[in-house]
Amino acid sequence: MGTYNAELSRDGPGVLLRDIERDDEQVAAVVAVIAATSPDILALQSIDWDYDGAALTALTDKLDRAGAPYPYRFFPPSNRGHDSGVDLDGDGRIGGPGDAWGFGEFTGQGAMAVLSRYPILTDRVQSHDDLLWKDLPGADLPEHPDGAPFPSARAQDVQRLSSSGHWAVPVELPGGSVLTILTFHAAPPVFDGPEDRNGRRNAGEIRFWQHWLNGDLGPSVNTRFVLAGDANQDPEEGEGRKEAIRSLLADPRFRDPKPASAGATHGMPGAEDPDETVIWDQVGRLRVDYVLPSSDLQVTDAGVYWPPPGDDGHEAAVTASRHRLVWVDLRIPKE
């Protein structure tokens, strides 16, 4: 099982498909990283959605030729770039990426997908993309200094929680057992003002999973699941409200295998965080990408694909994305 923010997002619709067909250097590096790790199931973030799924089909064709076939895919529209028709960011104007349900210049920019070697039970997928933020138990909504809703009561009445999506995707494994993939891509907890709209939303998107598992938001699952996605939050470093990610990692329903790499600490004397998964120019190295199996699953191995300089795969890893692919090997108990 793996998760990967591959940063396969471009400036306009159709551009990603063009780049895939032209053997763009970054696309080739993404293919090389996925082929090198070859997870049986992969949660993919930051890939541009299109109506026919042409970009994802072109990408998986390349993966197939590279020896990493994914015959089953889940790639519905997400909240990214989907215009709300309401001023959600409080800039006094309607329209633009900040007024989409999830930030995006066009519909589907930087969406999500699930790739699998095993059948995806699409008729049993639970999508919570349209859950209103205010309907999350204990919703921590932003306010103006006088306590009024930010940016307006109207905006909060329609604002969705998911900046991309919250999906529970059942996958049928060999032998007939089912593993449910819980996946999301939370908003970054920055790029806002003193109201901390993005910071609060990021925390809410992370908190969603515990509420869902509690049954607070309708039917859920209680066995054989894996949370795999980009939380855009490190439990110790960087911006944001740490309580949500710390609570998730400490939840006894999950195992945290703490996947690690040699590349995360290379060139950083005294560094003690080999589990970091991203490197941003202005922020540094953080752990923001997670694969958290349910506690009833056995972890046999885990890692972050971040080879140090000089090792095979290093150039592909750093060319493909600022994020690194995180993988966990699991043993599924017999039913």
Question: For 154-198, what is each residue's pLDDT tens digit?
Answer: 999 999 999 999 999 999 999 899 999 999 999 999 988 999 999
Tokens read off for 76: 């519905």
Tokens read off for 215: 């049954």
Among 266, 258, 257, 259, CA closest to 307: 266
Asked whether the predicted pLDDT for residue 269 surpasses 60, the reply is no
Residue-level pLDDT at 40: 98
Q: Which has more confidence, 284 or 330?
A: 330
Asked whether the predicted pLDDT for residue 124 surpasses 60, the reply is yes
Tokens read off for 43: 């949660």
Three-state secondary-structure class, residue 42: strand
- Over residues 104-130, the mean pLDDT reads 97
pLDDT band for 333, please (50, 70, 90 cuts): confident
Distance CA(214)–CA(128), nearest Å, equals 15
Residue-level pLDDT at 129: 97
pLDDT band for 283, please (50, 70, 90 cuts): confident
Residue-level pLDDT at 198: 95
Three-state secondary-structure class, residue 242: helix
C-alpha 289, offset from chain centre? 7
pLDDT tens by residue, 203-257 = 999 999 999 999 999 888 988 999 999 999 999 999 999 999 999 999 999 999 9
pLDDT band for 282, please (50, 70, 90 cuts): confident
Residue-level pLDDT at 53: 95
Report the percentage of the chain scoring pLDDT > 90: 90
Residue-level pLDDT at 289: 98
pLDDT tens by residue, 2-34 = 999 999 999 999 999 999 999 899 999 999 999
Residue-level pLDDT at 264: 86
Using the Cα atoms of residue 83, residue 116, residue 316 and residue 16 in order, give the sign of their dihedral.
negative
Asked whether the predicted pLDDT for residue 270 surpasses 60, the reply is no
CB 320 within 8 A of CB 314: no
Tokens read off for 78: 């997400």
CB 112 within 8 A of CB 43: yes
Residue-level pLDDT at 267: 66
How is the chain split into domains, by residue range?
Answer: 2-331
At position 80, the amino acid (one-letter code) is: R
Which CATH fold topology does 2-331 show?
Deoxyribonuclease I; Chain A (3.60.10)
Residue-level pLDDT at 85: 95
pLDDT tens by residue, 43-57 = 999 999 999 999 999
Distance CA(157)–CA(1), nearest Å, equals 37
At position 157, the amino acid (one-letter code) is: D
What average pLDDT is seen over the chain? 95
pLDDT band for 268, please (50, 70, 90 cuts): low
- Over residues 261-274, the mean pLDDT reads 75
Pairing of strands 111-116, 126-127: unpaired
Pairing of strands 41-47, 2-8: parallel
pLDDT band for 265, please (50, 70, 90 cuts): confident
Residue-level pLDDT at 272: 65
pLDDT band for 329, please (50, 70, 90 cuts): very high
